[in-house]
Amino acid sequence: MLDFNDCLATCHLDDLTCIGYDMTLTNKQDPLSRVWSKLDRVLANPCWITLFPNSFAHFQEPGLSDHSPVLVHVSQDKKVVKRFSFMNCWVDHPDYIQTVKDAWISPKKGSPMYYFFEKLKSVNHALTHFHKQHLSNISHRVQSAKIALVECQKNLASNPFSTALIQEERHLIASYSKLREHEFSILSQRAKIKDIQDSDCSSKYFFAKISERTHQQVIGAINDKHGHLHMGFLPVSKAFQDYYQDLLGQSSPVTALDTAFISAGVVVTPSDSLLLTREITPTKIRDALFSMDSNSSLGIDGFSAGFFKSV
């Protein structure tokens, strides 16, 4: 019997990342009767996204046609900078706290904000190494643990009263169970799927959702303000850099604030003002932090609320 999720993953189609024209169909009539529509789409299944994660669709100028022609680019650029992502299952590992402590106590200099940023960066590097050492290729580790357990149980069947084999089986069961828990936590966090069963983590649908999210995070190409197309990791990065340097590197006239509309609206009372400017206590910060979901979206630095709650 086939798994329903496997069938769903095989049939599941998503829009390929698109650039260029948003409206792909126009009847080319006068303004009052002109029609614009997003009629044409490029769909890809999980197998395509897995094989070509950097591919994208480019809708071009329609020319004489009512439709915009589309080119599908299959980029050979494999360079993708993986963003650091805190995995909530790390906190269950016995070496986690010591790893964070060792990275946090490294001496830093600078302003308090820079000091804090450098501390988090040290923890980032330490946890990246920690993950590679203990939990990288988690599905392969789970499979290896299962094979070791099955082999031990075969030997135990031939020698059922062996104390050494019984102890080994207990150890392998505990190791295999813990790795399965870590695999389920890591994959569900990467796929951003909630309310799933542990048995679903090995289905094709599960891994298809991970590939889909990975594909959505890749910007394979971009048009700059002059309409020039930039493709590939380095050209796209340079286009972003040039855009913001141009945007933030220019001065613009500042309009004086018109205070008339302030007095005409609702004014904060003195008691409300004191409430807004009251002292922020550590207890308030802790209450706000622990009210957050540990599985909430990661911050820009890659750390989730689960990290700060764990330390």
Which pLDDT tens digit goes with each residue over 146-184? 999 999 999 999 999 999 999 999 999 999 999 999 988
CA gap 142, 189 in Å, rounded:
17
pLDDT band at 140 (very low <50, low <70, confident <90, very high): very high
Which residue's structure tokens are 């050494």?
A: 164
In the chain, the N- to C-terminal Cα span, in Å, equals 46
CB atoms within 10 A of CB 272: 10
Q: What does the pLDDT read at residue 1? A: 44
b/e string for 279-303 if b means 16 or more Cβ within 10 A? eeeeeeeeeeeeeeebeeebeeeeb
Q: Which residues are CB-neighbours of 19 under 8 A, at least 6 positions away?
A: 56, 57, 58, 59, 221, 222, 223, 229
Report which of residues 144 and 39 the model is more confident about.
144
CA gap 68, 229 in Å, rounded:
16
Share of the chain above pLDDT 90, in %: 23
Share of the chain above pLDDT 70, in %: 83
The most confident of the ranges 117-126, 216-225, 287-296 is 117-126
Is 6 within 8 Å of 45 (Cβ atoms)?
no
CA distances from 190 to 86, 193, 205, 297 (A): 10, 8, 13, 11
Which residue's structure tokens are 């040290």?
A: 122
Q: What does the pLDDT read at residue 198? A: 47
Residues 212-269 have pLDDT tens digits of 666 666 777 788 888 888 887 788 888 888 888 888 877 777 777 777 766 666 777 8
Find how far residue 241's CA is from the centre of its chain. 22
State yes or no: pLDDT of 60 exceeds 80: yes
Q: Is the dihedral of CA 118, 121, 127, 129 positive or negative?
A: negative
Least trusted range by pLDDT, from 36-40, 74-78, 157-161, 197-201: 197-201
Is 289 within 8 Å of 305 (Cβ atoms)?
yes
Mean pLDDT of all residues belonging to the chain: 81
0.95 surpassed by pTM? no
Q: What does the pLDDT read at residue 143? A: 93
